[in-house]
Structure 1
Amino acid sequence: MGASTMVWSRQEVADRILAGDTLVVYNGQLLRIPQAWLNAHPGGSLAILHFVGRDATDEIDAYHSQDAMRKINMFCVGTVETSPYGWAPFLPPVMSGWIRKQASDGSFTWHHEATAIPASNLSSETLLVPNHTPGTKQHQSGGPSLSHLIPPPSNLSLEVQAQHSAAYKQLHERIIKAGLYQTRYLSGYGPEIARYLFLAFSSAYAYSNNWLITSAVCLGFLWHQLVFTVHDLGHMGVTHDWNIDRLLAIFLADFIGGLSVGWWVDNHNVHHLVTNHPSHDPDIEHLPFLAISTAFFNSLWSTYYKRAMTFDRFSAFLLSLQHKLFYILMAFGRFNLYANAYGFLLRKAFDHRKAKGGRWSWWLEVTGVAFFWCWFGALLRGCGSWKMALAYLLTSHLVTSPLHVQIVLSHFAMSTDDLGPTESFPHRQLRTTTDVICPPYLAFLHGGLHLQVTHHLFPRLPRHNLREASVLVKQFAREQGLSYAEFGFIGGNRAVLGVLKAVAEQARILGTVAENGIQGAMKKVH
């Protein structure tokens, strides 16, 4: 589809969205994303669906290479009428609980998977709950109406958010001109490859000498370190070529680590785009074990996992202890990654939609996971006894737990409010993300990803350039009057535990009230 000169009115855009078109605004152009590309999008379909009816210019520029951007005109169907401060956004249908599903005859129809409810603390915040939740509207048929596309009132100024967006574009140009998208293969990855080889040979040498716990520790540290490069490859931040980066990522993540990079990319891109939203960000959806907001007490619907996150007496009990169980849960974080990764691969086995890479990447990942369990299973069998095998398994996995703690530090203590589609990309990322202060000589322990604010603003930026880029980002934040959050590792842990404890206390109170209500009802019966 070539570029069109048609000028679309706001009403015309709304009408086409309600008719089922996937329309996104980019630099004043209107892009119509066909279903075939929605299925094939390397970042997953939700990454697009969360921006239907919105201006996604900053997000598109941040996530796509110049080569990818050259193809964007094929989706252009014209331009849109804008105000002096840009496009006034609609609320994407997925954010009000509406999605398109394919019927048995191949056609797509609207399906109302969840009901939107306003949060009590902010009029602009919208949460989703399952349709069968008591007190909510029942299942609606036919499709969304114009009222579903109108976002709730917002306290944000479209003019101010447009200023932030314009300044972000200038910042992005400075990043590009500074050469910070150039990968530091020798000075950046050279020391890391040496570290990987040292840990691998140390683990093998210790194992051959029957120093099994030492071997397990070295193997765990190897997995811990490899994750950072897999992260870069998943963002196309190494060679910047999708096929090469994906092949390398599958080798490191699946064959050596036993995880699925396909699952990680699908999950992680959504996290970046709707950071800390209780109904949409899979990285904060951990009920019944963890909740960083009392919003989860509403038994929310997850648009990523496609299930209800039920808050019941069992959840209330676990959440009341979450600040005490936090480090125990983090210690077993890698097992949770296995569950999510293998569930994703299983679902994709029955998914007829062809994502980029066709089926070869899925088959290669399945082969990689099988290969991993063959060689790792052989290590466990060679430990001599089931007790030692269990010790080797637990030690190697527990050693990776600091990585899981580090990941949550950057978001768990930050805002989970939804300020609506009016909020600009830079405003949202600075509000929901924080850095962990770390001296340069210890940066390898964090893989350089302690600079999460800059990473969230420029996800494709090579990891070894984040520190230099963060200087420019801090200047940008000062000039725009935005907060750039950062704290030390210990302070960050205290902040997260404080949030978990506050939510735990509310869960304990609700659990007590529910228990008293049940006992009162039983007394009336008798």
Structure 2
Amino acid sequence: MGGTTFISRDIVAARILAGEHLIIYNDHLLRIPASWLDAHPGGTLALLHFVGRDATDEIEAYHQDDTLSLISRYSIGRVELKESGWVPLLPPIMSGWVRKPVLGGKSEWFNEANVLRSSVNTELTPSSQILLVAKDELAQPGPGLDTLEPPPTNLSLAVQSQHSRAYKELHQRIVSAGLYKTPYLSGYGPEVLRYTFLGCMSAYTYSHNWLMTSAVFLGLMWHQLVFSAHDLGHMGVTHNWTIDRMLAIIIADFIGGLSIGWWVENHNVHHLVTNHPSHDPDIEHLPFFAISTSFFSSLWSSYYKRTMYFDRFAAIFVAMQHKLFYVVMAFARFNLYVNSYSFLLRKTWDTKRARGGRWAWGLEIAGIAFFWYWFGNILYGCGTWRKALAYLLVSHAVTSPLHVQIVLSHFSMSTADLGPTESFPHRQMRTTTDVICPSSLAFIHGGLHLQVTHHLFPRLPRHNLKRASALVKEFAKEQGLVYAEFGFLHGNAEVIGVLRGVADQVKLIGKVVDVEMKEAIERKSTNSGRKFD
């Protein structure tokens, strides 16, 4: 890597406040130009969440060697390190600050949200926690040095640095074991046969007017195909971005009607800030779900760029969320359509080389149009609108176990923010759990029941996760980390328990409000009576 100048932490902070996007990688200071910030295939937020931090583990987990070799062009020098490593700064986006373009091609700081700090230091709300809420109407000055200083944390930087060093060694063991090599024949061979069988059975039963049976087979095919789209979105199949993305578009857009571009951007953020209430889109489901009482504060989402209002409507749903969980999951695919199409609409006027270039966006648009052409004809061929509606609902509801499986790995885990001191492996193992299942049933989960290992090594071919998980468990034991796992039924019980716990808090708040209102009315009546006397 180029650059021999040693740059102090104070200078890094000052340059960030001046508008530069600086990230530490292997003791080098990378300056990310605005042009690449917009064009980064992993999304802008994937970079903004690591400004002022050491992102070595995350960068190496998400990029191949040929990409890593190009990073040297962004190095502007080396940073001064303490014995325990780089002392992290708080990324401005974590405290509600972003850069926005203004006239003349320049950019200025913009305050999109206010900070909500924890007033106590508990396991659920640690002193290190920073959440975001809607900003007030008062104009905010730009961020200062105090903005970049993280709140106090219970974590030891030395211990977290040790976890990081051990993770690098683990990663090398994974590479040396050949686990990044894709098992095309033994892995994807049986899956292609399974997809083909389910698709043919759906067509065959449809041709015989067994509509609901056809809908079930179609839903099962979608359910299974998603796993391959997931692998391709992570560049975990051919490991060539262009080839993997083209295959992903064929599966996700042309066959499934969903945008792989949206999913990749959303999923990358989820992987990097897992279970953070203000930043992880995969746990931001108000008004339907709240897996933490933190959402009662009407948090700001840095991903969706809006306030997640905990209003009366949300309170009603959240109070019943444990009862409505499986009902909502049955229709979760419709929400994926909304997110996909709104993403593609936003990208209509994006002329930058962002998230795969214009050809990928155009191919996705063609894919969505093709999907609704063939699926629309299937619905039309059902004969009546009632049969078409039934076909639509059944085919989509059949995919719901996939959505249940996804939330099992995170909804029951910690949503506390331990700050930028926390290492990549520590955060992933604290916020993620595996779902235990027999090897004979692993295909139902697509192998993604091994979420802990997947979160640590997102590019790892899915069929190699089981072998890699054995190494991860050894790593966890050596480092004193918890490798969480539970059975499918136990996992469901855990998630329902979390949802019920938050729902009970909503009901408790409602009772307190009712009592306070009753007391206020009584006081008012008493005072009125005295005035009358």
TM-score above 0.5, yes or no: yes
Q: Give the conservation status (yes or no) of the 8 Å contact 1:164–1:427.
A: yes
Return closer, same or farther for 1:25/1:198 CA change in 2, 3 Å cut-off.
same
Q: Give the conservation status (yes or no) of the 8 Å contact 1:88–1:422.
A: yes
Which AA in structure 2 matches 1:202?
Answer: M
| SS of aligned partner of 1:364 | helix
* Aligned equivalents of 1:82, 1:280: Cα separation in 2: 28
What are the Cα deviations for residues 175-227 of structure 1, in whole angstroms up to 9, with x where unaligned? Answer: 00000000000000000000000011111111111111111000000000000
TM-score by structure 1 length?
A: 0.97
Q: Note the C-alpha offset of 1:106.
A: 2.6
What are the Cα deviations for residues 144-186 of structure 1, in whole angstroms up to 9, with x where unaligned? Answer: 1000000000100011001100000000000000000000000
For 1:338-349, list aligned pairs within 5 A. 338-349=337-348
* Aligned equivalents of 2:363, 2:520: Cα separation in 1: 57
* Aligned equivalents of 1:63, 1:250: Cα separation in 2: 20
Q: Give the conservation status (yes or no) of the 8 Å contact 1:162–1:424.
A: yes
Q: Note the C-alpha offset of 1:301.
A: 0.4
For 1:116-135, list aligned pairs within 5 A. 116-119=115-118, 120=120, 121-132=125-136
* Aligned equivalents of 1:46, 1:19: Cα separation in 2: 19
Aligned pair 1:270/2:244, yes or no? no
What are the Cα deviations for residues 350-386 of structure 1, in whole angstroms up to 9, with x where unaligned? Answer: 3344304321111111111111001100000000111
Which AA in structure 2 matches 1:183?
Answer: T
Q: Give the conservation status (yes or no) of the 8 Å contact 2:43–2:355.
A: no
Q: Note the C-alpha offset of 1:278.
A: 0.3
* Aligned equivalents of 1:386, 1:11: Cα separation in 2: 66
Q: Give the conservation status (yes or no) of the 8 Å contact 1:316–1:511.
A: no
Q: Note the C-alpha offset of 1:521.
A: 5.8
* Aligned equivalents of 1:356, 1:316: Cα separation in 2: 36
Q: Give the conservation status (yes or no) of the 8 Å contact 2:413–2:431.
A: yes
Q: Give the conservation status (yes or no) of the 8 Å contact 1:236–1:245.
A: yes
Q: Note the C-alpha offset of 1:520.
A: 5.9
Corresponding position of 1:296: 295
Q: Give the conservation status (yes or no) of the 8 Å contact 2:22–2:32.
A: yes
Corresponding position of 1:166: 165
Q: Note the C-alpha offset of 1:516.
A: 4.8
For 1:505-520, list aligned pairs within 5 A. 505-517=504-516
Q: Give the conservation status (yes or no) of the 8 Å contact 2:262–2:344.
A: yes
Gaps of 5+ in 1: none
Corresponding position of 1:59: 58
Q: Give the conservation status (yes or no) of the 8 Å contact 1:320–1:507.
A: yes
* Aligned equivalents of 1:284, 1:514: Cα separation in 2: 27
Corresponding position of 1:351: 350
Aligned pair 1:76/2:80, yes or no? no
* Aligned equivalents of 1:490, 1:431: Cα separation in 2: 21
Corresponding position of 1:203: 202
Q: Note the C-alpha offset of 1:515.
A: 4.5
* Aligned equivalents of 2:178, 2:517: Cα separation in 1: 64
TM-score by structure 2 length?
A: 0.96
Q: Note the C-alpha offset of 1:500.
A: 0.4
Q: Note the C-alpha offset of 1:346.
A: 1.0
Q: Give the conservation status (yes or no) of the 8 Å contact 2:433–2:452.
A: yes
* Aligned equivalents of 1:199, 1:190: Cα separation in 2: 15
For 1:132-281, list aligned pairs within 5 A. 132=136, 138-141=138-141, 143-281=142-280
Which AA in structure 2 matches 1:140?
Answer: Q
Q: Note the C-alpha offset of 1:426.
A: 0.4
| SS of aligned partner of 1:508 | helix
* Aligned equivalents of 2:481, 2:279: Cα separation in 1: 24
| SS of aligned partner of 1:358 | helix
Which AA in structure 2 matches 1:209?
Answer: H
Q: Give the conservation status (yes or no) of the 8 Å contact 2:24–2:56.
A: yes
Aligned pair 1:308/2:307, yes or no? yes
RMSD over aligned CA atoms reads 1.4
Q: Give the conservation status (yes or no) of the 8 Å contact 1:4–1:78.
A: yes
Q: Note the C-alpha offset of 1:489.
A: 0.1
Q: Note the C-alpha offset of 1:312.
A: 1.6
Q: Give the conservation status (yes or no) of the 8 Å contact 1:313–1:511.
A: no
What are the Cα deviations for residues 499-522 of structure 1, in whole angstroms up to 9, with x where unaligned? Answer: 000000001122333455556667
* Aligned equivalents of 2:68, 2:15: Cα separation in 1: 24
Q: Give the conservation status (yes or no) of the 8 Å contact 1:292–1:500.
A: yes
For 1:292-441, list aligned pairs within 5 A. 292-441=291-440
Q: Note the C-alpha offset of 1:122.
A: 1.1
Q: Give the conservation status (yes or no) of the 8 Å contact 1:258–1:338.
A: yes
Which AA in structure 1 matches 2:19?
Answer: G
Q: Give the conservation status (yes or no) of the 8 Å contact 1:279–1:300.
A: yes
Q: Give the conservation status (yes or no) of the 8 Å contact 1:10–1:80.
A: yes
Corresponding position of 1:495: 494
Q: Note the C-alpha offset of 1:139.
A: 3.7
Which AA in structure 1 matches 2:140?
Answer: Q
Q: Give the conservation status (yes or no) of the 8 Å contact 2:261–2:355.
A: no
What are the Cα deviations for residues 77-103 of structure 1, in whole angstroms up to 9, with x where unaligned? Answer: 010000001100000000000001112
Instruction: Name whichever of 376-385 and 104-113 sits farther off.
Output: 104-113
* Aligned equivalents of 2:106, 2:250: Cα separation in 1: 38
* Aligned equivalents of 2:355, 2:454: Cα separation in 1: 24
Corresponding position of 1:18: 17
| SS of aligned partner of 2:464 | helix
